[in-house]
Amino acid sequence: MSSLLTATMRNHMISLFLLLSLLELFASFSTSTSSKLSDCKPSSYLCGGHDCNISYPYRVPGMPNYCGHPAFELTCKDNNTKHSMLTMEISGREYKVKGIYYDDRVISLVNSNSLGETCPRSFSNITVDHSLFNYTDYDIIMTLFFNCTNETSRFNLRSVTCPGSDNTTKSMYNSYYRLPQDPPPQLAEMSKNCGMIVQIPMFDGDAEPLAKGRLDFLGVLQNGFDLNWMVGDGWCKACEDSSGVCGRDADVPGRPACFCPDGSTTGSACGTS
C-alpha cells in the first residue's frame, strides 16, 4: 500500500513538473513574440534632422535582424553634419533615399555619385534584382555614351550638358545620351567609337525638359528615380490589417513572420494558423 501511494505521488509530481515546464515554455514563447512585436513596430528614425518612418522590409542599425529584410538595410551617413543623408545599398552601390512611400510600396533614390559634383564622370549600369524591386511606371531608361570619338556626331545623338560657371549649360566633351523615344543608334558602331556605354533610370517627366534644354544632365541625375519593392507583397498588408507587425522568421531565411498582439506568430495574418 505504501509503495503504491509513493508511486502515485511520484507520478503526480512528474505530471506537475511537465505541466509547469510547458507553462514556462509557453510563457517564454509568448514573451519572446511580444518582444518581437514591440521591437519591429513602425518607428521614427532621425537622420540629419529629418524623420523617416521605418517598418518592414526596412531596418536601421539597432533593430533586430528579424525586423527587416537583409537587402533593405538603411544607414544614416555622416549623421549630425550638413552632409548627412539616409542611404541604401543596391547591388553594391550606394544611393541616397529621398523618400519611402509605404502605401504605394515605392522608394525614391538618387545615385550618391551625382551629389556634390558639377558634371559627374563616373557611371555604371544600375543592376536591379527583380525578385526585390521593379521599376515604376514613371521610370524610363536613358542610354549614355561617354568619351566618344568625333565620328559619333554623325549619329545625331543629344549632347550631355551640365551647369556652367555663369548659370548657363555646357556640353560634356564628346558625351551623348539617348531617350527611349529617340531613334535607336547603331550600337555596334557606338561601341567602337565610345569608351563607355551605360543605362540609367530617370523620371519620364524629366525627358522633355532635358531634351529642350530646360534641365541639364546633372539635374536629371539628382532628381533620381523610383523603385517598387516586391518583398512582403500581399502577406505584410494582411498582417498589418490584422493588427500584427511584419517581420521575418529568424530561424528560416525567407519565411515571413507576422507578430501578433496575442503573442502568436503566423505567416500571414493574425488569427490564422
**Residue-wise DSSP of 196-215:** EEEEEEEEGGGHHHHHTTSS
pLDDT, one tens digit per residue, over 63-113 is: 999 999 999 999 998 877 777 899 999 988 899 999 999 999 999 999 887
User: Given this model, what pLDDT does residue 25 score?
Assistant: 41
- Residue found by looking up cell 550638358 in the block: 161
Report residue 151: phi and psi, to 5°.
-60, -25
Task: Parse the chain into domains and list their residue ranges.
Answer: 91-229
β-bridge pairing 106-111 and 93-101: antiparallel
User: Given this model, what pLDDT does residue 10 score?
Assistant: 52
User: What is the total residue count of the chain?
Assistant: 273
Q: With a cut of 70, which residues of the chain have pLDDT below it?
A: 1-34, 116-118, 120-122, 151-154, 163-173, 185, 187, 273
What is residue 243's DSSP assignment?
T
Residue closest to 163 by CA, chosen among 154, 151, 174, 171: 171
User: Given this model, what pLDDT does residue 104 score?
Assistant: 94
- CA distances to 76, 96, 111, 112 from 223, rounded to whole Å, are 20, 11, 10, 11
* CA-based torsion, 151, 152, 156, 160: positive or negative: negative
β-bridge pairing 43-47 and 50-54: antiparallel
Residue closest to 104 by CA, chosen among 136, 78, 127: 136
Q: Give the separation between CA 72 and CA 171, rounded to whole angstroms.
A: 37
Q: Give the separation between CA 158 and CA 179, rounded to whole angstroms.
A: 9
